[in-house]
Amino acid sequence: MNNVGILLRGKSLTRVKSIHKTFNCCYIVNDFKKEIRKVEPYIKGKEIIHVVNSMDDAGLRRVDYKDFNIKKMVFAFTREMYKRSRPIERHYKKMGVPNHEYFPDSYTERLLQTRNTGLNSILYVSDIIRPKNIWIVGLEFYQEDYLVKKNSKHHSKKAKKIKMIETFLDIVREHPNISYYMITYCKELPNDINNLHITEA
């Protein structure tokens, strides 16, 4: 697979309209209920994979999974991290999503440090899927509001605590053969990493 999109929930998500023709497969993250309708013209008909954490409100509505023909979930944790794996699998099967994938258990320590589903989705696509190009929108590192709601102070503190920008850059540097194309409102990203191409939103 040459091109994969990763759609996160920051306000630069609206810019998906400028890159959607570059990929036929995209990953969306967590509670994307309101966002998915806003980007519907640009992603409907593509292969869509939903990356979720273990929170009860992380899923979409049944009608969303049906309308967008979403048939695969990626759990942003390992089986070792989430011992009650069968209940969550049963829940999403009832929602109409039959295929589920976990991170390998060897990722447990790293995911416990990251604790961010958006970053984990980028890690998954980079490490497991390994496309030639990854196209990212909606990642502002909590420096701007979400597209459909405001960030809380808790989000900003969490971003600093887990060193969110540094963690993202580590993933990029670990995969020099993947080109990352990113549209973002964040102004703190370096411009000297050869495989990271930033466009300001």
How much of the chain, in percent, has pLDDT values that exceed 90? 74
pTM tops 0.85: yes
pLDDT (tens digit, 9 = 90+) per residue, 153-170? 445 555 554 588 999 999
Of the candidate ranges 39-48, 85-94, 147-156, 192-201, the one whose mean pLDDT is the lowest: 147-156
The whole-angstrom separation of Cα 135 and Cα 133 is 7
Cα–Cα distance list, 29 to 100, 113, 121, 174, 192 (Å): 14, 19, 7, 22, 28
What lies within 8 Å, CB to CB, of 175 at 6+ separation is: 126, 127, 130, 195
Cα–Cα distance list, 134 to 35, 113, 121 (Å): 20, 23, 11
43, 26 Cβ separation under 8 angstroms: yes
Cα–Cα distance list, 73 to 46, 96, 141 (Å): 15, 11, 23
35, 60 Cβ separation under 8 angstroms: no
Order of strands, sheet of 99-103, starting from the edge strand that comes earlier in the sequence: 99-103, 72-78, 47-52, 25-29, 3-7, 133-137, 179-184, 196-200
pLDDT (tens digit, 9 = 90+) per residue, 4-23? 999 999 999 999 999 999 99
pLDDT (tens digit, 9 = 90+) per residue, 91-130? 899 999 999 999 999 999 999 888 899 999 999 999 999 9
Reported as type and span, the H/E element at residue 196 is strand 196-200
Task: Quickly state the pLDDT bin for 149 (edges 50, 70, 90).
Answer: low
What is the residue-averaged pLDDT of the chain? 90
Query: How confident is the model at residue 154, as a pLDDT?
Result: 44
The whole-angstrom separation of Cα 179 and Cα 30 is 24
